[in-house]
Structure 1
Amino acid sequence: MRHQVQAIFSEHKKEITDAWISAIFGTYDIDTVGFLRSQEDAFANPVGNKTKKATAILIDALVDDNLDSDIVTPAMNELIQVRAVQKFEADQAMSVIFVLKNIIRKHIVPKLSKSEEFADLLELESKIDSLALVGFRIYSECRDKVQRMRVDEFKRKHFQLLKRAERILEKPVGEPES
């Protein structure tokens, strides 16, 4: 990303971050949105806290033009994992990344004066697409993990029922009666 776009992005970093957080919170139902926005306690509002921290890290990474996976992946994990566990569909979970493009356009495009600066903006948007790919991988991994946990829980319950039946019948379940 070249200097003009980066300078404008840096200048509007707080507004962009706040707008992005607001857009993410807006994907929740109306009762939850108020809580996410108003509750500052990290223990009472872990989703809001994680969202604010993750978005700040990701915006800093974009402003600094540093998409190092050691920085970006943990932040994306915080942002996307919650959405995967909360049963957001893939498009709903990932839309929070793509909405950032519109927010950035709103703040940066009016200040661009040369056509080559638009190419720089497209480069920035490509980096956001890269973040989305990281997010989609994380979302898929989280959903797979949740499914495995559900299957394991079903197996545990089934096994416990079999053991209880064996105690009641005083013989292993599944053996034919003599």
Structure 2
Amino acid sequence: MDLGQAISQKKAAILGKWFRLIMDTYPLDASGFLGREKDRFANPVGYTISREIEVLYDELLQDMDSEKLAASLDSIIRIRSVQDYPPSEAVSFVFLLKKAIREELGDDISDNQAYADLLAFEARIDKLALLALDIYTKCREKIHQIRLNEVKTETERAFRLLEITRRMHDVPDAEEHPGDGENLSP
């Protein structure tokens, strides 16, 4: 059996191993829950990761449709980007697939051809990781833009409140009376 067939036939075992490796990247108290709870409403994070890694796996075995890959990666990376993982940890789940495959197919990678096939498949995983990093960067940029907009909104709100307070107490504008208050020291 060639390596591609072995990767395809052992899909369930490899996906299970990959999922557990991903769950191990979470703190111990969270990883247990995320790995055990299967209900999509009780555990949307675990459910999403489980569903999307299967799509990624299938695409790696097929033609690597960039739209499907990007959509699945986006679903996982959105979760990991808001959890304040550094970029290396946020996209590390992609590389964990290599470990899962090597652990599951260790005996099947004995000859030179199987090893060459493994390297070719791992190159596809590397491409997936690069796409994941691009998506992570876009997600983080969006988060930073949202935070910046929140700061702008709060600043504008504070200035409006200050203006209302000043009008209520008939405090003159600093622009209307330049020089007032400049020398407040005795």
Indicate whether the TM-score tops 0.5: yes
Which residue pairs with 2:49 in the alignment?
Answer: 51
Q: Which has the higher helix share?
A: 1
Unaligned runs of 5+ in 1: none
Deviations for 1:135-163, whole angstroms, at most 9, x for unmatched residues?
Answer: 00000000000001111001101110110
Q: What residue identity is the alignment partner of 1:163?
A: R
What is the CA distance between 1:113 and its match in structure 2?
4.1
Report deviation, 1:16.
Answer: 0.6
Between the two proteins, what is the percent identity of the paired residues? 31
The one of 59, 70, 79 equivalent to 2:76 is 79
- Relative contact order (C-alpha < 8 Å, sep 6+): which is higher? 1
Q: Secondary structure of the residue that 1:86 maps to in structure 2?
A: coil
Larger of the two Rg values belongs to structure? 2
Identify unmatched segments of 5+ residues in structure 2.
178-186
Aligned in 2, Cα 1:139/1:169: closer, same or farther, shift over 3 Å? Answer: same
- Offset, 1:44: 2.4
- Name the counterpart of 1:11: 9
Runs of 4+ in 1 over 3 A off after TM superposition: 171-175
Is residue 66 of structure 1 aligned with residue 63 of structure 2?
A: yes
Worse-superposed segment, 112-121 or 74-83? 112-121
Q: TM-score, normalized by length of structure 1? A: 0.91
Give, in angstroms, the shift of residue 79 of structure 1.
1.4
Contact 1:20–1:99 (CA under 8 A) maintained in structure 2? yes
* Aligned residues between the structures: 175
Q: 1:26 to 1:168 in 2, by over 3 A?
A: same
